């Protein structure tokens, strides 16, 4: 494998293949019920035991989420559904969902987040409120992940700063210190390793010790990525895509996360105590395409699907 066009200021040269493999090892990936339905058998494309997040887009029936969770669990994967606070009307609904997830797929892992809608459906508005219900403790969740925004979140900090997000992170850090659940930060995807690294260093200086699962976009058409980046509020690193769009030789060539993975790998190799611990893949150009890229660039082997 050759790493090309390496552009991170955090290393003087491209990382070694082993460093990239170490960064890819243990990656997680995100699916939705409708995209998961297009995959005949996840065992044919993902390493055994891969953590698969199930994104709960507002309006998706809980029955579809449960069916996807049950299917992935049966195929041998660690399943982590999203719990979007603003899409959950009340504590009773949250408890009902938890019970049904555990009945369907023995779910003990969750990504807690505010959610992508502006107006809450009911009384829940944030991941902090989800935590404060006490239900994830009550039902024995072993892993609780929270969202991270290396390039800011203007839906929360509307002035473009980070004060509110930072205070929320400190609350969650305190919660992690007093619970048995393993906690980690799964970030929004970014296209610039330096932006993620700078954020990781800044929150570490704040006293945050939670491991970071750095979000990357899987291979996709450039136009598709720009549309997703704009809709998801990706910040300064969108300039990486815009620069690529101005290069006629790259305009029609699908984007691959080579540079951002290389930058993160080199930083981690040089700074083993960095909070950045692994990768979380957003398969914006397709689940199989993203999974194949990870395997072809140093990821763990995929076992053949059961016949």
Rounded-to-integer distance, Cα 92 and Cα 98, Å: 10
DSSP 300: P
Question: Among residues 72, 75, 91, 73, which one has the least CA distance to residue 83?
Answer: 91
Does 174 have pLDDT greater than 60?
Answer: yes
Q: Is residue 231 part of a domain?
A: no
- Greatest mean pLDDT range, 152-156, 163-167, 225-229, 247-251: 163-167
Structure tokens at 172: 């969650």
Model pLDDT, residue 244: 60
User: Based on the structure, what is the number of domains in the chain?
Assistant: 1
- Say which CATH number the domain at 151 has: 3.20.20.220
pLDDT band at 255 (very low <50, low <70, confident <90, very high): confident
Q: Is residue 74 part of a domain?
A: yes
Contact 147, 131 (CB under 8 A): no
Q: Is residue 236 part of a domain?
A: no
Q: Is residue 11 part of a domain?
A: no
Q: Is residue 12 part of a domain?
A: no
Does 241 have pLDDT greater than 70?
Answer: no
Q: Is residue 239 part of a domain?
A: no
DSSP 114: -
Q: Which residues contact 48 (CB under 8 A, 6 or more apart)?
A: 76, 77, 303
Q: Is residue 233 part of a domain?
A: no
Domain that holds residue 216: 17-220+253-296
- Greatest mean pLDDT range, 9-23, 244-258, 274-288: 274-288
Does 15 have pLDDT greater than 70?
Answer: no
Q: Is residue 244 part of a domain?
A: no
- How many degrees, rounded to 5, is the angle at CA 24 between CA 49 and CA 186? 75
pLDDT band at 164 (very low <50, low <70, confident <90, very high): confident
Rounded-to-integer distance, Cα 287 and Cα 280, Å: 13
For residues 202-216, b (16+ Cβ closer than 10 Å) or e, as one string? ebbeeebebbbbbbb
Rounded-to-integer distance, Cα 71 and Cα 111, Å: 19
Q: Distance between the two ends of the chain, CA-based, in angstroms? A: 31
Question: Among residues 270, 268, 263, 148, which one has the least CA distance to residue 206?
Answer: 148
């Amino acid at each position: 494998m050759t790493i090309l066009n390496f552009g991170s200021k955090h290393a003087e040269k491209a990382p070694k293949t082993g460093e990239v493999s170490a960064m890819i090892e243990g990656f997680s990936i995100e699916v939705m019920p409708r995209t998961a339905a297009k995959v005949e058998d996840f065992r044919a494309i993902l390493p055994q035991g891969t953590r698969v997040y199930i994104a709960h887009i507002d309006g998706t029936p809980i029955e579809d989420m449960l069916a996807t969770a049950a299917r992935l669990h049966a195929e041998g994967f660690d399943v982590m559904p999203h719990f979007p606070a603003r899409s959950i009307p009340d504590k009773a609904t949250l408890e009902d969902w938890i019970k049904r997830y555990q009945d369907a797929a023995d779910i003990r892992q969750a990504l807690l987040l505010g959610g992508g809608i502006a107006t809450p459906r009911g009384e829940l508005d944030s991941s902090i409120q989800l935590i404060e219900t006490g239900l994830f403790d009550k039902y024995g969740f072993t892993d609780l992940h929270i969202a991270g925004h290396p390039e800011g979140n203007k839906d929360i900090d509307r002035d473009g700063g980070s004060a509110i997000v930072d205070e929320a992170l400190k609350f969650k850090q305190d919660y992690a210190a007093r619970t048995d659940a393993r906690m980690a930060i799964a970030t929004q995807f970014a296209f610039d390793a330096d932006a993620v690294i700078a954020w990781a260093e800044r929150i570490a200086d704040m006293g945050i010790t939670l491991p970071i699962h750095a979000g990357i976009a899987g291979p996709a058409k450039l136009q598709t990525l720009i549309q997703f980046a704009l809709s998801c509020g990706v910040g300064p690193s969108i300039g990486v895509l815009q620069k690529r769009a101005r290069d006629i030789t790259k305009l029609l060539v699908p984007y691959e996360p080579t540079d951002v993975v290389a930058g993160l790998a080199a930083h981690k190799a040089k700074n083993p105590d960095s909070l950045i611990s692994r990768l979380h893949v957003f398969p914006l150009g397709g689940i199989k395409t993203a999974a194949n890229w990870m395997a072809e660039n140093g990821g763990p082997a995929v076992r053949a699907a059961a016949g």
